[in-house]
Amino acid sequence: MSPGSLRRLRRTSAFSLFKSTTSFLSHTLFPFLKHLFYKTLDFFSSMDPIFFPEDEEVFDPRSHQKLVDNLSELDSAAEPLYFVPFRWWNEAREAVSTEITGVMYETTTSVNSSRGNADDWDWDWDWDVGSEVVGAKNEIILNLRRQCEAGKSDCAEEGFLGGDFALVSEWMFFKALIWQSDVKGVGSFLATKDNSHDLFPLHIRLSFLWETDSLVVKINQKDNEVGAFNQGCNIFCIESGLLRIWDFSGQTSQYFTKERKLPDISGRQDEEISLELQVFGLSCSMKGTERNDERITELSKFEGSFSSRLLKMNGSNSIVNSHFGGSQSLPCGGSYKIARVLGLTGLYNLGNTCFMNSAIQCLVHTPTLVDYFLGDFRIDLNFGNPLGMNGKLALAFGDLLRKLWAPGATPVDPGMFKSTLAGFAPQFSGYNQHDSQEFLAFLLDGLHEDLNRVKCKPYIAVKDAEDRPDEEVADEHWRNHLTRNDSIIVDACQGQYLSTLFCPMCKKKSITFDPFMYLSLPLPSMTMRKMTLTVLSTDGTTLPSPVTITVPNFGRCKDLVQALSSACSLGDDEMLFVAEIYNHRILHSLDKPSDSVELIRDNDRLVAYRFRKDSDASPMVVFIHQREEKSFNRATPSLKKFGIPLVARMSDFSKGSEIRKQFLKLINAFLTPVDNSTNNNDGVLNTSDEDTEMEDVIKTPVLGGDTNADNESEDVSHLDDDFQFYLEGEGFLSKRSKIEMDQPVPVSVLSRTINVLVTWPDNMMELYDTSLLSSLPEICKSALLAEKPQESVNLYKCLEAFLKEEPLGPEDMWYCPNCKRHRQASKTLDLWRLPEILIIHLKRFSYNRYFKNKLETYVDFPINDFDLSAYVVPKNSQVSHHYMLYAVSNHSGVLGGGHYTAFVQHGPNRWYNFDDSRVSSISEEQIKTSAAYVLFYKRV
């Protein structure tokens, strides 16, 4: 053999054979082809390279493993074959693709039978589908000889419509199925009583006769179910003995080259390859082409009788009755049922997988994705993307989608898809309940990476806007994004934000354009939070009063102080000191303006003390109340704290009486009105000289000795009937020293806060209304057992809350290029480019370190016309900004223990509820509920 012939043989048998493995027959021939591949590689690797000229590329055996890996990857992407009536396929062929051509084979049929010769076979045998017939034919042999190619002048297609069959790829079959359902409705997908005869698998054995350049197909009874084999007999065993099979899948042509057949491979040419065909639309008995023509005519009549019940679904017409499969007698031999409408198929719940089922049903009813995955999506599979799953996730999703759109389908088990997804997102590997929106985000991202048409992502440096027009910068960012990301997911689901950052110090503005997959909109009840605080004066002029304010849910303490200052009409010369009260003490103060209000729990109690700004330099004295409490099991009474601490600014600590004087001033407003029966006044203790009046009412004996006020078993029998004051030292175990009225108070010069314990005797408890001191409401009163009116909000309000300017948190500081420092900038989002499929996530779930919560707010969302024209920045865009709702993912129940379902539009004004494996019809009025979680819109 010459070197040139050897090179041609090498390239033909190795490289060409490697490329041809993308088909279904390659899948079934894979063991055989791999054996051939290995033998060829071994043969050439053992040869001396001097046989090849130096200027020719020499095959490198070191690439052996890489090619084998690619061969396996392409093999996993192979599609099944469907065997359908030629007339049915030919009507839809141009609508599917104008580039599809077919090869016609004339087929002769023979039969091997245990009863004798094929010539003695009873062609009128009445086959029992449900049982095996002893002594009947057990093998059908088809000999296929290639005749011509469709579209050529020597190929007369139109003369053989009645008795011809077509071999098509899976994507061609589903495209034709959708087109037929759109045009004819019920006639395209009738199913028999058990839904198995109209679409059933037929196992065949394929071999190639090198001498005659023909394919041999054997259908053996032992390889098939009895019913499938008998239907195969009805299809292929015709009286004329001649069938015409058109191959539009391109699978059989791999056995032929333009010049001659593939090289003879000794010992392999007679090997039979097993494969499975999916047979569709041939379930009726067909003995001769005349019977086939009659069947088609009768089916056409049957289609017309149901034309009034046609139903549009994602661009397709179909039929559905109230039970999805009511019986109806057909004239074509046997009892038939109306098929389930294409796409109305449920998913089994594998155990807490309702979140997955809900999201999947919304996606598999997305028109753009349906058209794509029912088509030849395998050409976009990206096997080398390290961010994807080597195409496995896209293949698993495409397979699941096609199962859900198969005619007459029963509920589908999504277990294989779930296990494949778990390889991309391991958090979904178990059977715990998850968030459907989180699952949706991971799935869309995984599909994008598996279908990314960009095989090698280039590095692109981001350019500064440099005062260029926003339109120019936006287009540049979008082009850069598409240079690295190009898939059906990007085409259909991704839009573009305009993000603006504003430095509060130097006023620097930074503009960027970022892609988005979905919009996560907050609910107004979630964006704003109502909080109730108690406001106290520090001059004793007013009583404590509760004030309710509204602050941003993700706001800062400065927002709280600002809202509170406005609510209580704070003067220009006043300031607020806000503190949390716990166990009748000040636990801590909210003195950091940047702290998040999320840290404040609903059951916290906050007090805002009003101070004059000019007193801010003086130390703050905190008066903590305690009173005597008698107990039956104790010999001596104990002291118990109560009430709200009172606060004042003091600078004079020369005598203990100054402490007492300041305290009496603070509690003056709490004096109980005195009932004076001798005169007609209202009995209120009112005097121009409060200190003198208080001296008349309160005696001031001076007591000596120190007291530990924190010890509840402390002996208080020595207390007199006047207030007693104790200076509390720092630290948990520090001593408390009694404050003497005529002696200086022993406070540190550096102390900014001084805690003073005030012991209330019984007579003082009667003189003052201490209940007012104990009235301290929570931030938000818990209403778990109370019936709350349902909140309602419009979807447009949610969008406006999303686009509203908000400050970044301290953990998200922005580095200002002008200031050269990190700043707490303000951020604004605007919509710049909207996708064809707009996914909106309603943020019903909120999480922080203290609690989790779900909002049951009713969102009134548009169904037929969601107009976003006013919210898109470019006003001169020619693209429509009107959207129509077609699917909703719902979550009902409580957080962590709820259930997911899906509402899907499947035809004009036809909606269905997908509840795992159950599918039922609902009205459009039932779509809007407080359970709506993820909304799916398509551009009008």
| Contacts with 107 (C-beta within 8 Å, 6 or more apart), sequence order | 142, 143, 144, 145, 236, 242, 243, 244, 245
**In 3D, which of 908, 940, 936 has the Cα closest to residue 315?**
908
Angle at 564 between CA 563 and CA 565, to 5 degrees: 95
Separation between Cα atoms, residue 112 and residue 119, nearest integer Å: 10
| Contacts with 99 (C-beta within 8 Å, 6 or more apart), sequence order | none
Separation between Cα atoms, residue 100 and residue 339, nearest integer Å: 29
Backbone angles phi, psi at 110, to 5 degrees: -135, 160
Q: Within 13 Å, how many C-alpha atoms sit on residue 848's CB side?
A: 10
Q: Is 354 a catalytic residue?
A: yes
| Contacts with 831 (C-beta within 8 Å, 6 or more apart), sequence order | 495, 497, 498, 803, 868, 871, 872, 873
CB 912 within 8 Å of CB 418: no
CB 903 within 8 Å of CB 913: yes
Q: How far is CA 585 from CA 575, 580, 850, in A?
A: 21, 8, 22
Task: For residue 743, give the amino acid letter.
Answer: Q
* Helix, strand, or coil (residue 797): helix
Instruction: Name the DSSP class of 390.
Output: T
CB 565 within 8 Å of CB 547: no
Separation between Cα atoms, residue 472 and residue 727, nearest integer Å: 70
Separation between Cα atoms, residue 4 and residue 53, nearest integer Å: 9
Separation between Cα atoms, residue 166 and residue 84, nearest integer Å: 5
* Alpha helices per DSSP H over 459-574: 470-484, 488-493, 524-527, 557-567
| Contacts with 358 (C-beta within 8 Å, 6 or more apart), sequence order | 436, 889, 890, 900, 901, 902, 914
Tokens representing 365 are 């009813």
Backbone angles phi, psi at 584, to 5 degrees: 65, 20
Q: How far is CA 366 from CA 377, 584, 923, 939, in A?
A: 15, 59, 20, 11
Catalytic choice (354, 493, 503, 557): 354
* Burial class for 357, CB neighbours closer than 10 Å (0-12, 13-18, 19+): buried
* Burial class for 376, CB neighbours closer than 10 Å (0-12, 13-18, 19+): middle
Query: Within the chain, what is the greatest distance between any pair of CA atoms?
Result: 138
Q: Is 233 a catalytic residue?
A: no
Catalytic choice (203, 481, 882, 899): 899
CA torsion sign for 206, 209, 215, 216 is negative
Angle between helices 86-96 and 170-183 (to 10 degrees): 90
Separation between Cα atoms, residue 357 and residue 41, nearest integer Å: 47
Tokens 């004076």 belong to which residue? Answer: 676
CB 139 within 8 Å of CB 221: yes
The CA R_g of the chain, rounded to the nearest whole Å, is 42
For every residue of 609-668, DSSP letters joined together read EEEEGGGTTSPEEEEEEEEEE--TT-SS-EEEEEEEEEEEE----SSHHHHHHHHHHHTG
Strands 858-860 and 852-854: unpaired
Tokens 């419009």 belong to which residue? Answer: 794
- Active-site residues, by number, are 354, 899
